Structure 1
Amino acid sequence: MMTASTLYIGWDVGGWNCDHNPASRDALVVLDDALHVIGKPWRDNLRETLNEATSSRDVIHRLLALCQHVASGDERVVMAIDTPLALPQALLALARGEAVDRLGRSQENPYLYRETERWLFARGITPLSPIKDMIGSQATKGMHFLARFAPHVAACGQWQSKGGELCVVEGYPSPAKRSAEFAALRRRVCMTEGLHAMLHQPTPKQQDIQDAWHCALLAWSLEHAKGSVAWPPAEMPAAEGWIFVPKDALSA
């Protein structure tokens, strides 16, 4: 019996109204199990695609179509998204009138940063805050995608659609760019010469596509190179999610 193929999508998220933003838009890159780039990378605004999609399967078909790939209808998709996919639990408690006792340095502030972000700060990585760093538009766009198409928490940092055809995680491309393991992985990716130049020496407009490519590599690594990725400790709160990064990008 043949099993459904798995595709790996990286999404670098632009703001809700990024249509005319020359510096930042949504970008998608698709890889298969063999690390072939599927179709063509895409860059524009996904807002209308998200508005029009009616189900998890439908949004998969639409995302693949944007990348000029015709869906077979039984694909399983693992998607890594470059934006915060949850809010700090302390911030949500504050909205209910429940404050923490004491606050210290910015990067330790539980209103501004989730536990996963504070964990990364302690290991030399500096993620952005959806509260402090003006990425609220992108963050709500990613959270909206989860709520509509992959609302079920399968494990800390992993969300799924009801039928399991779509698995979504949060990726962070910046550490992947300086990872030695990911440098070796990038050399294994099969692509055209023109795409190679775009991804390895991107123009400012292509930077979004390069980030989406690294997210796709993170998604692929979750299943094919698990040991190269930092996984959440047992005590990490599942409601806040987890930012997946290469293990060798962490400092001691």
Structure 2
Amino acid sequence: MPTGEALLAPTTPLFIGWDVGGWNCDKNPASRDALVVLDAQRQVIGKPWRGNMRRCINQAADTAGFIARLLELCELDVTTYASTPVVLAIDTPLGFSTAFIELIVQGRAAGPIGNAASNPYLYRRTERYLFERGLMPLSAIKDMIGSQATKGMHVLARFAPHIQSPGVWTDHQYLRAIEAYPSAAKRSSQVAALLAVLPEPGGFAHSDIGDAHLCALVAWQFHYQPLQLVQPEPGVDSREGWIYVPVDSLSSARTSPNVGSGIEI
């Protein structure tokens, strides 16, 4: 089944972008959690939200409850969207590298370590792939985003614990979650075209909300235009995850064999 096909429920999904803040970001003026919800027409519905989701995460008993709390934060009527599936695009690393996991769990060392960008402890294959093509994703290990990364992974473990395919987590009923990268989306002419009839990210009250909006657009692309996004390399370890970025955000998009041409829907 292609990665972007519909989940089990036939209902048209909602698309939520989550720009992740740290566990205790309540008073952080620069970075907090932010949420934006889009409908199938890419219209922002409800009200974009910015704050700390920690309480929401802690209080949700199951996936349906978690989704309901996200919608409530964005001032949407939960009963209107009961049982509506959600594609959630999350802006934080959602896995650690295989080499790092083996180092801390099994004491197994990787081979010789070269430059930073090729260090298998610091970067997953998806990040090294993007480095090779002109993007500069952050490392959950060295770039002080471990709080955000563990927050995102904690949400997956609780509410979308099953790996559907590399980089796609699900509860098999209500939720699919993927990792997005707003900085890459800003380089994409395809995303710019989607934004042409919508508010620009700079028009939001804070850049966190703008990034959440870009994540929501990537979630929409994942569902409706999967070939507009770079798909996982063959053989990538599904535990590491994959960063879904627009094909045309890569500097070598025309020559890479692992990206496809887009299909408008």
1:97 is matched with: 107
Instruction: Provide the rounded CA distance (Å) in 1 between the counterparts of 2:234 and 2:52.
Output: 36
List alignment gaps of at least 5 residues for structure 2.
1-8, 253-265
Render the CA deviation track for 1:37-92: whole Å, top value 9, x for unaligned: 11010000000000000000000000001001112311100000000000111011
Correspondent of 2:61 among 54, 75, 84: 54
2:89 is matched with: 80
Instruction: Provide the rounded CA distance (Å) in 2 between the counterparts of 1:133 and 1:234.
Output: 27
Instruction: Provide the rounded CA distance (Å) in 1 between the counterparts of 2:161 and 2:67.
Output: 15
Quote how far apart the aligned CAs of 1:112 are.
0.3
2:57 is paired with a residue whose SS is: helix
Quote how far apart the aligned CAs of 1:164 are.
2.3
Instruction: Provide the rounded CA distance (Å) in 2 between the counterparts of 1:181 and 1:4.
Output: 26
Percent of aligned pairs with the same amino acid: 51
1:29 is matched with: 36
1:165 is matched with: 174
Question: Number of residues paired by the alignment?
Answer: 241
Correspondent of 1:110 among 97, 100, 120: 120
Instruction: Provide the rounded CA distance (Å) in 2 between the counterparts of 1:25 and 1:54.
Output: 23
1:229 is matched with: 229
RMSD between aligned residues: 1.3
Instruction: Provide the rounded CA distance (Å) in 2 between the counterparts of 1:175 and 1:126.
Output: 9
Are the aligned partners of 1:156 and 1:238 in contact in 2 as well (CA < 8 Å)? Answer: yes
2:30 is paired with a residue whose SS is: coil
Are the aligned partners of 1:5 and 1:74 in contact in 2 as well (CA < 8 Å)? Answer: no
2:259 is matched with: none
**Are residues 146 and 174 of structure 1, via their aligned partners in 2, closer, same or farther at CA, if it must alter by over 3 Å?**
same
1:193 is matched with: none
2:150 is matched with: 140
Quote how far apart the aligned CAs of 1:237 are.
1.4
1:86 is paired with a residue whose SS is: coil
Correspondent of 1:121 among 118, 122, 131: 131
The code of the aligned residue for 1:168 comes to A
1:131 is matched with: 141
Q: What TM-score results when the alignment is normalised by the length of structure 2?
A: 0.88
2:258 is matched with: none
Are the aligned partners of 1:124 and 1:251 in contact in 2 as well (CA < 8 Å)? Answer: yes
Render the CA deviation track for 1:9-58: whole Å, top value 9, x for unaligned: 00000000000001100000000111111101000000000000000000
Instruction: Provide the rounded CA distance (Å) in 2 between the counterparts of 1:164 and 1:220.
Output: 18
1:17 is matched with: 24
The code of the aligned residue for 2:95 comes to A
Are the aligned partners of 1:35 and 1:188 in contact in 2 as well (CA < 8 Å)? Answer: no
2:256 is matched with: none
Quote how far apart the aligned CAs of 1:251 are.
1.0
Moved beyond 3 Å, runs of 4+: none
Between structures 1 and 2, the one with greater helix share: 1
Render the CA deviation track for 1:200-229: whole Å, top value 9, x for unaligned: 3456xx000000000000000011122211
1:248 is matched with: 248
Render the CA deviation track for 1:173-203: whole Å, top value 9, x for unaligned: 00101211100011233xxxxxx37x33456
Correspondent of 1:70 among 77, 88, 98: 77
Correspondent of 2:197 among 174, 179, 188: 188
**Are residues 90 and 68 of structure 1, via their aligned partners in 2, closer, same or farther at CA, if it must alter by over 3 Å?**
same
Instruction: Provide the rounded CA distance (Å) in 1 between the counterparts of 2:237 and 2:226.
Output: 21
Asked if 1:175 is matched to 2:177, the reply is no
